[in-house]
Amino acid sequence: MGAARVLEYEGFRKASRREPCPICGHPDWCGFNSYLCSCMRVSEGAFKHIILSNGQVAHLHRLETGMVAPGKQWEEFIIPEVEPAPVEVRDRVYRHFLRLLELYPRHKEELLRRGLREEEIKRNGYKSIPDHVNPWILCKKLIRSGLDLAGIPGFYRAKSNGGSYWTFNSSPGYFIPIRDAQGRIQALQRRMDDIRNGKYMLFSGHSDQGGCSCGTPAHVARPLEVKDGRVWITEGQLKADIAAAYLGAVVIGAQGATSWKPVVPEVLELGATEVVIAYDRDQETNKEVARGKRMLVAELKKLGITVREAIWRARSKEEKGIDDALVAGLEIRIV
């Protein structure tokens, strides 16, 4: 027997206690189908490593020697990945999309509490994820105004008897625009109301349903008025917006301390000659954060950029971020 079967794309199942990951044996985090496993823990033996939208790396392992149809590659059986549209296209769609939405009072109050002023909230363009309009109706509106949602991270095609329609995940929360050095909206971050799966989640993914990933873009936050010519770097988009408002400086918000790579092209695009890194003060105890910072510093120095670091004495866990330290009026030293 042993007749090799020709593979067809098959959706991934999440590892569970009943069906643990076939590579690492753990009951969570990983995913697999009958011929591929996307393991989050074991990289040895993987044929491909994929950076997920949250910055984590998935290791792809073959589970059987099925036959790949002539002219096809194993890689094609992972997920039919759609390339994201160019940034100017994404910017146009996201602007139209955000214009259709409003900012609910509960979200506005939260932003005011974080230390932003009303005019900054308006200018930065935060909008609530709609909880009383069907997402597909909003998608229809966008398409009617001549926009194409293919290649726009966050949107995907849901299946309905025989056909499919454009939609997006409308779990409650609010959108935080992620802008590039030119102010274009390249992606959207979401601050979730229900934080059990994480406070922040990118508007991205659903690759198995015609959606695409936005990667881990860095956000360039601009103040109303630039008083400090240096470019600051922190982790988190909202944190960058708040820090920019208080510092009067351009602040780049990395997706996380480990996703430092997308920060570099934005620094270059801004033409910065001096940067100030202001990562969370828990870097002394957080190895990943410390390593991410070291690598970013080395890369920037290689490019001839002067790198400084902001430090402050956090009196509590609530003051570990530069935004909270600034709002609390702590003394920030630059070394």
Number of residues that bind Zn ion (CB under 5 A): 6
Task: Rule CB under 5 A: say whether 21 interacts with Zn ion.
Answer: yes
Query: Which of 30, 327 has the CB closer to Zn ion?
Result: 30
| Residue 270: CA count within 13 A, CB half-sphere | 28
Task: Rule CB under 5 A: say whether 30 interacts with Zn ion.
Answer: yes
Query: Which of 39, 202 has the CB closer to Zn ion?
Result: 39
- Bridging pattern class, strands 306-311 and 274-277: parallel
Interface segment toward Zn ion; rule CB under 5 A; list 20-28, 79-87, 104-112, 238-246 = 20-28
Q: How far is the CB of 60 from Zn ion (least distance, A)?
A: 11
Q: How far is the CB of 30 from Zn ion (least distance, A)?
A: 3
Interface segment toward Zn ion; rule CB under 5 A; list 35-43, 98-106, 188-196, 276-284 = 35-43
Q: Are 31 and 16 in contact (CB under 8 A)?
A: no
CA distances from 105 to 102, 117, 128, 138 (A): 9, 14, 9, 21
CA distances from 187 to 79, 86, 117, 155, 223 (A): 21, 11, 23, 11, 19
Q: What are phi and psi of 107, to 5 degrees?
A: -75, -35
Task: Rule CB under 5 A: say whether 24 interacts with Zn ion.
Answer: yes
Interface segment toward Zn ion; rule CB under 5 A; list 18-26, 107-115, 306-314, 322-330 = 18-26
Query: Which of 39, 272 has the CB closer to Zn ion?
Result: 39
Query: Which of 27, 172 has the CB closer to Zn ion?
Result: 27
Task: Rule CB under 5 A: say whether 52 interacts with Zn ion.
Answer: no
Q: How far is the CB of 32 from Zn ion (least distance, A)?
A: 8
Question: What is the C-alpha separation between 238 and 56, in angstroms, rounded?
Answer: 20
Contacts within 8 Å (CB) and 24+ apart, 308-313: 308/230, 308/274, 308/275, 308/276, 308/277, 308/334, 308/335, 309/276, 309/277, 309/278, 309/334, 309/335, 310/232, 310/276, 310/277, 310/278, 310/334, 311/281, 311/335, 312/281
Determine which residue in the list 36, 39, 220, 263 makes contact with Zn ion, applying CB under 5 A.
39
Query: Which of 16, 182 has the CB closer to Zn ion?
Result: 16
Q: How far is the CB of 177 from Zn ion (least distance, A)?
A: 34
Task: Rule CB under 5 A: say whether 46 interacts with Zn ion.
Answer: no
The footprint of Zn ion (CB under 5 A) covers: 21, 23-24, 30, 39, 41
